Structure 1
Amino acid sequence: MLALAGVAALVGVYLVVWGVNGIRRTIAVWASDPIPIEEARLADGTIEIEGTAEPLSGTLQSPYDEAECLAYSYSKKREKRERNEDGEYETEWRTVDSGGDSVPFLVSDDTGSIPVDPAAATLGLDTEYSSHVGDVKKTESRIDPGDGVHVIGQKVPAVETDVDLGDERAYVGDGEETPTFRITNGGELETVARMFGRSAGSIALGGTLIAAFGYLLLTSVPGIAA
């Protein structure tokens, strides 16, 4: 039992470190401001933009809603009822299927447009479809053509990718110079809120695991409390 708690404590340390680094990335995003896409085309390294998502060379069809989209994630959960140690029934929703896909698309504002390859991005998507039939729940989150998006990433030469970017010479993607590569429905505030929420949740869960290990250690090992 103590060994398992020790493993949980190590996981807790990892979650706390990940969360702290996430808070730092969140502060970095909040401290910067999106720039017009016209300027982004001339900039190097990390760029932050906001605009409207538009098709570049094609779109996808989402699996549940069958909607035309540029990126999606989906999840299917099934309700399970099992008896616990006290003989009482407990309900748990278990994920039985999940996934996602994306295609390169344009982000446009009043000054121009620039392609974005979301393949390696962390996506903060709004839920566009949800159903609950019997013991099955399905949800689908998407970026649709015409959606407003916030993007922070690195400008990369088009020669460094195999995806079809047409005649474009550069795109926004992942790279060592950017603290994070993230695409979010909405604006900068939504990005910061999502990043902070994930990081704070990781720190809270990690701290709980570490505290549980400490409590178990104090109560299990004779004389350690003294």
Structure 2
Amino acid sequence: MIGPVTEEMLVLAGGVAAAVIGVYLVVWGVNGLRRTIAVWKSDPTPIGEAHLIDGTIEVEGTAEELSRTLRSPYDGARSLAYSYSKKRKERERNEDGEYETEWRTLESGSESVPFLVADDTGSIPVDPAAATLGMDNEYSDRTGDIKKTESRIDPGDGVHVIGQKRSANEADADLDDHRTYIGDGEEAPPFRVTDGGELETVARMFGRSLGSIFLGAGLVAGFGYLLLTSFPGIAAALGVSGI
């Protein structure tokens, strides 16, 4: 017969769950650092030589319209990819009776269309639907307690792309008469499209990976502290005192 669930058991279960998530985040971050180093060491392929590449491909160039563009929801700009959010500043009283301010998201979303990446040697379509998009903040407006922001890739922006070269026959999107494109795939590392050059891609990847490692390590350390303080016998067995 299973005894009653105690508060200590619930706390321990929560700690174990946090530790598991922490380990996952650390592993994800370490793998991300490895991918970041690989991107830093490699050089983008001239697009005119893309036909010589199979599998993973890295290119850098200018984003150009392929068949159509989008209109961003707030700024009304011609865009190839965007994300947006509208937030409201709210004040709430916490448990201590003090007021805290936070920005609550009212609406958010993203959209993209296939576009061309061109350099001096040629151009190739990119279908960014499944990509991780690294976009700069192009629009910000605040009226009272409402703040609207847009991050975009617009025609004429410099972009850096890492993905998998694929046959146009595999694409769901309209790629005009192009025979190949860059998209997502099992042979490629995480598919990324970044507003800017290789340096911006590396900086974004490094920041995300390092943040994941720190957060994961913090969760694991928190679980260790919880374990030692909740179960003094374990701390004594390990020769840890003063916790």
Does TM, normalized by the shorter one, top 0.5?
Answer: yes
**What is the deviation of 1:121?**
0.6
- 8 Å contact from structure 1 (residues 46, 177) kept in 2: yes
Distance in 1 between the 2:90 and 2:112 partners?
Answer: 31
2:186 paired residue among 176, 182, 185: 176
Question: SS where residue 223 of structure 1 aligns?
Answer: helix
Range with bigger deviation, 121-130 or 27-36: 27-36
1:147 to 152, 157, 168: 157
Moved over 2 A (4+): none
CA contact (8 A) 1:60 1:68 kept: yes
Opposite residue 111 of structure 2, the aligned amino acid is: D
Picking from 56, 67, 80, the partner of 2:66 is 56
Q: Does 1:89 align with 2:129?
A: no
Who is 2:200 aligned against? Answer: 190
- In the superposition, the TM-score normalised over structure 1's length comes to 0.97
**Identity over aligned pairs, percent:** 77
Amino acid at match of 1:196: F
Distance apart, 1:84 and its partner CA: 1.5
Deviations 1:163-216 (A, max 9, x none): 111110000111111112111011101000000000100111111111111111
Residue of structure 2 equivalent to 1:40: 50
Distance in 2 (CA, whole Å) between partners of 1:137 and 1:28 is 38
- Aligned length in residues: 226
SS in 1 for 2:125: strand
Structure 1 unmatched runs, 5+: none
State which drifts further: 131-140 or 57-66.
131-140
State the Cα distance separating 1:127 from its structure 2 match.
0.5
Structure 1 equivalent of residue 15 of structure 2: 5
Who is 2:88 aligned against?
A: 78
1:222 deviates by 2.6
The separation in 1 between residues aligned to 2:144 and 2:15, in whole angstroms, is: 37
Matched residue of 2:38: which SS?
A: helix
For residues 190 and 97 of structure 2, what CA distance do their matches in structure 1 show? Answer: 47
Letter in 2 for 1:87: G
- One-letter amino acid of the counterpart of residue 217, structure 1: L
RMSD: 1.1
Larger Rg: 2
CA contact (8 A) 1:41 1:114 kept: no
Query: Is residue 2:129 matched to residue 1:122?
Result: no
1:217 aligned partner:
227
**Residues in 2 aligned to 1:82 and 1:219: alpha-carbon distance in whole angstroms:** 32
